[in-house]
Structure 1
Amino acid sequence: MSKPYMLTYDLNSPGQNYDEVIKTIENDISTVCCKYWESSYLFRSNLTTKQMIDKLKPYLDKGDRFFITEIVNNKTGWLTPKQWDFINENIYD
């Protein structure tokens, strides 16, 4: 059963391969996601947070930072109506 998560990251070493990190998040970790922020994702996943990090490890080094947390439907912020509709219909189904 998929759950909603928020993931944020900083790849701090020069020459990092952002493409592989993004591809892994979008294709291997999430079942549906939105990326309305520079280095953060809101998504649903069937994986545990440990399983997510294990999939990302090949593309990370000691200088990188990741934070993944399961989230609840208690939110507010400044997004467009279209973005809120997507979140409400796909992340908090």
Structure 2
Amino acid sequence: MANNLHVSYDLNSPGQNYEKVIGAIKTLGDWGKIHKSYFYVTSNYTSSQAADIVWAAMDSSDTVYVVDATNNTAHWYNVDTEVTSFIKERWA
């Protein structure tokens, strides 16, 4: 069964390779670009697996946040700890 993934990212350093990150997102499955750095993807990957794949195309100063709307899970890299605590405390 395919998962409904929402992938959001920020490239925070000048001269970032957007095409590399977008290419990684497109490998996850069928996709639709909602905003400049926000995609919907139908995928066989979990949120954790998808975040790992996209993160591998990014720099350590960047951020990625992936939500699996099918299984109510999320995974992220380099999101502010205050925000991640807020999410974890309220996730239902």
- TM-score in same-fold range (> 0.5): yes
What TM-score, normalized by structure 2, do the two folds share? 0.67
Rounded to whole Å, the distance in 1 between the matches of 2:12 and 2:42 is 26
Counterpart residue number, 1:6: 6
Higher share of residues assigned strand: 2
Higher share of residues assigned helix: 1
Rounded to whole Å, the distance in 1 between the matches of 2:10 and 2:62 is 6
Counterpart residue number, 1:53: 51
Which of the two has higher C-alpha Rg? 1
Give RMSD over aligned pairs. 1.4
The higher-RCO structure (CA 8 Å, 6+ apart) is 1
**Aligned structure 1 segments of 4 or more residues deviating by more than 4 angstroms:** none
Q: Which runs of 5+ in 1 are unaligned?
A: 73-93
Equivalent runs, 1:29-48 vs 2, <5 Å:
29-30=28-29, 32-48=30-46
Identity %: 33
Deviation of the 1:7 alpha carbon: 0.8
Rounded to whole Å, the distance in 2 between the matches of 1:35 and 1:64 is 19
Q: Which runs of 5+ in 2 are unaligned?
A: 71-92
Instruction: Number of aligned residue pairs: give it.
Output: 70
Rounded to whole Å, the distance in 2 between the matches of 1:3 and 1:39 is 19
Counterpart residue number, 1:20: 20
